Amino acid sequence: MTNTPDSLGREVLYEKPEPHVAVARLNRPDKRNAVNGHVAAAMDWIVKETERDPEVRVVILASSSDAAFCAGADLAEISQGRGHLLSTPDGGFAGFATHPREKPWIAAVNAPALAGGCELALACDMIVAADTARFGLPEVKRGLFAGAGGVFRLTRRLPASIAFELVATGDPIDAPRAHQLGLVNRCVPAAEVFAQALALARAIAVNAPLSVRESLKVARMSFDAPESELWAVSRQTSAKVFASEDAREGPLAFLEKRAPVWKGR
């Protein structure tokens, strides 16, 4: 287990458990992984580090504790006038919610993900959840607002009527129902969450990294861009990918009946 720089503390642990896969583990078990300034700074650093590191192809966001994924913002920090530290200029809430990322992230949700914790899961591209987990934005029950993207990211991952209900009532949805509706990729027993997230990461990491990044870039645009723009970007991306070394390596490896050796370029 490695960690972020010492100056950022140990509130988030960072490791690369196997080739091409990185893991960020929220590590405040006594606070149910609530986000404070150290968590935000560490997550901001981890996003930048994983984007910079050519060996990393996919990242898992997990918890070091089986008791919690993330309880959202640390209200003690806010009450003490340090709420501004819970966000970073590049990453927004938790140094993550708005951070530009090309590489895929998988949330390994082993326990309830509510409020800001739900928003961190929604900021990831994929979710593997325990069958006992729940997802929700209870802010309206306290006269607050889910300002880290949850109120609009839910409608992009769930049928609109279901998302509207969750936003307006503040009531959570359990993981089996979330899986049925497509919010969760895999719903498994809690003890299997990280292993299943790692299996999904491996299935991504085995592919050509440039192809994955560029394909995800266009896929993420599909929520906002008109189809005419998506066609233009798709043509540009196709030309870029097909001109890469990996585009030559993939077919050659297939013909030679061997595993491809990706260069990421």
- What confidence score (pLDDT) does residue 83 get? 83
pTM metric for this prediction: 0.92
Given the DSSP bridges, would you call strands 113-114 and 92-93 parallel, antiparallel or unpaired?
unpaired
Domain 2-205 falls under CATH 3.40.640.10: no
Of 18-22, 36-40, 195-199, 223-227, the range with the lowest mean pLDDT is 223-227
Residue range 155-186, pLDDT digits in tens? 999 999 999 999 999 999 999 999 999 999 99
Residue 262: pLDDT band (50, 70, 90) is confident
Residue range 97-109, pLDDT digits in tens? 999 999 999 999 9
Residue 4: pLDDT band (50, 70, 90) is low
Of 34-38, 135-139, 229-233, the range with the lowest mean pLDDT is 229-233
Query: What b/e string do you get for 150-169 counting C-beta neighbours within 10 Å, with b at 16 or more?
Result: bbebbbebbeeebbeebbee
- What confidence score (pLDDT) does residue 246 get? 84
Amino acid letter, residue 35: V
Q: What is the mean pLDDT of residues 33-54?
A: 96
**Does the annotation count 229 as an active-site position?**
no
| Of 263 and 207, more confident | 207
Residue 18: pLDDT band (50, 70, 90) is very high
- What confidence score (pLDDT) does residue 265 get? 82
Amino acid letter, residue 53: D
For 209, the enclosing helix (H) or strand (E) is: helix 209-221
Question: Among residues 11, 77, 139, 214, which one is catalytic?
Answer: 139
**Does the annotation count 165 as an active-site position?**
no
* Nearest residue to 104 via CA among 135, 129, 131, 127: 127
- What confidence score (pLDDT) does residue 122 get? 97
Question: Among residues 11, 15, 49, 119, which one is catalytic?
Answer: 119
| Of 254 and 170, more confident | 170
Mean pLDDT computed over every residue of the chain: 92
pLDDT at residue 255 is higher than 90: no
Share of the chain above pLDDT 90, in %: 72
Residue 191 makes CB contacts below 8 A (sequence gap 6+) with none
Q: Does residue 154 contact residue 166 with C-beta atoms inside 8 Å?
A: yes
pLDDT at residue 113 is higher than 90: yes
Q: What is the mean pLDDT of residues 108-125?
A: 96
Residue 7: pLDDT band (50, 70, 90) is low
- What confidence score (pLDDT) does residue 133 get? 96
Q: What is the mean pLDDT of residues 117-122?
A: 96
* Nearest residue to 33 via CA among 95, 116, 90: 116
The pair of three-digit structure tokens given for residue 129, joined into one six-digit string: 């959840």
